[in-house]
Amino acid sequence: MGPSGSGKSTFIRTFNALEDYQQGRIEVDGIALTHDLRNIDAIRKEVGMVFQQFNLFPHLTVLQNVTLSPIWVRRWKKQKAEEVAMQLLERVGILEQAQKYPGQLSGGQQQRVAIARALAMQPKIMLFDEPTSALDPEMVREVLDVMRSLARSGMTMVVVTHEVGFAREVADRIVLMDSGMLVEQAPPQEFFQNPKEERTRKFLSQIL
């Protein structure tokens, strides 16, 4: 969490080398991120990402959006990729939309396709960059429900969000960022009820 421009997107985009960084060290499931392209590829296979704007291919059906990477990157046979995709579409509650195009779906449905698409690559970590910020209020919940069940299934997730209730309920750890720096990190209860930093108190007084 953190105010606008505090560096939240920049931070999570470094995890899969969408953004370069100058200091520090990033390690994903034992693989250290270097500038070697093969290494970046290896990390990207482990890290799924969901963006605020769903970034689906508009000319492909839902099913084709979800099977594209497994077929082209993982080299799965079409039939296997489609079987797995259908299971994922069922998991995110939009199985019946499989043959439609993104433009025919609501924002909440499109975001659930984007989640299924990321999961299709069987990532070890999922990054979410304000996944509900572009949605109408009534669609926020259906996406948060999917994320909640993903968290319960044990998926490691790093989520940039302004959804305070969701963060409080689902997170193991909340990180507050400000001016490109990590200000405070703590389990939700401690973060919301007993923050250590003045900056955190000020942030909470603005959002609660």
Ligand X SMILES: Nc1ncnc2c1ncn2[C@@H]1O[C@H](COP(=O)(O)OP(=O)(O)OP(=O)(O)O)[C@@H](O)[C@H]1O
Which residues make up the interface to ligand X (CB under 6 A)? 2, 4-10, 180
Q: How far is the CB of 200 from ligand X (least distance, A)?
A: 15
Helices marked H in 73-197: 78-91, 107-119, 137-152, 164-170, 188-193
Nearer to ligand X (CB atom), residue 18 or residue 86: 18
Q: How far is the CB of 42 from ligand X (least distance, A)?
A: 25
Nearer to ligand X (CB atom), residue 6 or residue 132: 6
Q: How far is the CB of 131 from ligand X (least distance, A)?
A: 12
Taking a C-beta distance cutoff of 8 angstroms, is the pair 107, 136 a contact?
Answer: yes
Nearer to ligand X (CB atom), residue 12 or residue 116: 12
Q: How far is the CB of 45 from ligand X (least distance, A)?
A: 24
Assign 28 to helix, strand or coil: strand
Angle at 26 between CA 21 and CA 27, to 5 degrees: 160
Phi, psi values for residue 35, rounded to 5°: -85, -5
Separation CA 96–CA 58 (nearest Å): 18
Nearer to ligand X (CB atom), residue 9 or residue 106: 9
